[in-house]
Amino acid sequence: MAKQEKPSTHDETDSVESGKTPCQPSPPVASESLELNLSEGQRHTILEYAELPAHLSERLAGKGTVANGTQFTLDELDELLDLVEESVYRAKGNEKQKVLRIVAKVANLLGSTIDPDEMPKRRLPKKTDTVFQIKMTLRGIDPPIWRRIQTKDCTLEELHALIQVTMGWECEHLYRFDIGGVEYMDLGMGGDEDVKDACETKLSDVLPPWNHRPRFYYEYDFGDNWLHQLIVEERFPPEGGVEYPVCVAGQRACPPEDSGGPWGYSDFVETITNPDHQRHEETLEWVGGEFDPERFDLEAVNNELRRIRTRKP
C-alpha cells in the first residue's frame, strides 16, 4: 500500500485530486496531535492580537484548557503558528515580546525552527532513501493556493523545478530558498558571497532529522516577490510501486507570471471575474482568453512530473 498523505484540517475539503492511480497516495482518516500548554495570560494575548478562525479561537477560549492543555493536530498548530506570527506587528512594547515568546513556544513544540548550526556537518555522498512530504503554500493569498508533494531526497535546485511544475509557474524568474536564515540560489544565475549553492545542497543536508515539522521559504520572482512557505509534514521510506516525485493534493490556480505579486493578483482576479470592469476584456486577453482562479488539475501536474522523470538520465 502506498504511503498516505496527511490532510490539513482547514480549507482542504474541496481539494482537487483527480487523475489518481492505485500507486498514488490517498488521505488517511486521522492526523497526529500534540498538547499545547499555555497560561491564561498567553491565551488572552493570542485571542487579543491574532485573527483566528472560529475552530481555533473556540478551542483556546474553552473552559478547563489552562489546567489540562489543549490537543491540536499538527495542521492546526501550523495554522496557529502562522496566525500568531502575523499578529506580531499588531502588538507594541512588552506585548510584542509576549507574542514572540508564544511564537517560540509553538514553534518549539512543532520542531519547525531550523538552526543552521544543527544542520548535518557532513554532506552525504549520495541521496538518501527518505521521502519528504512537503506542503507548499503561497503567502499573502486568501483563500490559500497550496500544493502537497512527496519527493525523494533531492537538491534544492531540483526542488525548485518541482515547485515550478506543481505550483504552475513557468521558470521565467530567479529564485532563492531561505532555510534557517541561510539563503540558497543557483550561483550560476547570481548571488553574493553569503549565498550557498542550491545545485550542490540536498534536502537531507539542511533538514536535521530531529526537526519534527521544519518549515522554510522559497521566493520566486524578486519583482513580484512570490513567497512560498514549505512545511515538511512527514518523512518516510519510499513505498513500493509509487513513482516519485508525485503531487498528492492541491487547491486553486497558480497566479499568472508578472501579475504583480499578491496585491496585483487580487486586483487581477477582481478584474477578470467582473465583466463590467473597465479593464475586463483587456486583462482577459492579456492572460490568454480565460482564467479560472479556482482550477487545479492534479492529473495534469502529475503528467508533467512523469515527463520530468522520463527526461532524467
Domains of the chain listed by start with CATH number: 33-110 (no CATH), 117-252+296-311 (3.10.290.30)
pTM of the full structure = 0.77
CA 201 to chain centre: 20
Integer CA distances (angstroms), 224 to 128, 172, 175, in order: 35, 12, 11
Average pLDDT over residues 222-233: 95
- Find residue 185's DSSP bridge partners: 197
Give the ranges where 147-297 is alpha helix by DSSP (H): 156-167, 203-206, 261-272, 280-286
Answer yes or no: is pLDDT of 298 > 90.
yes
Q: What is the residue-averaged pLDDT of the chain?
A: 84
Give the confidence band of 12 by pLDDT, cuts at 50, 70, 90: low
- Find residue 231's DSSP bridge partners: 135, 215
Q: Tell me how far apart the alpha carbons of residues 192 and 95 are, in angstroms, rounded to a whole number.
A: 37
pLDDT of residue 117: 65
CA 292 to chain centre: 22
Question: To the nearest whole percent, how much of the chain has pLDDT over 90?
Answer: 53
Residues shown for the chain: 313
Q: What is the CA radius of gyration of the chain?
A: 20
pLDDT of residue 154: 94
pLDDT of residue 112: 81
Average pLDDT over residues 20-29: 42
Q: Tell me how far apart the alpha carbons of residues 209 and 207 are, in angstroms, rounded to a whole number.
A: 6
Answer yes or no: is pLDDT of 182 > 50.
yes
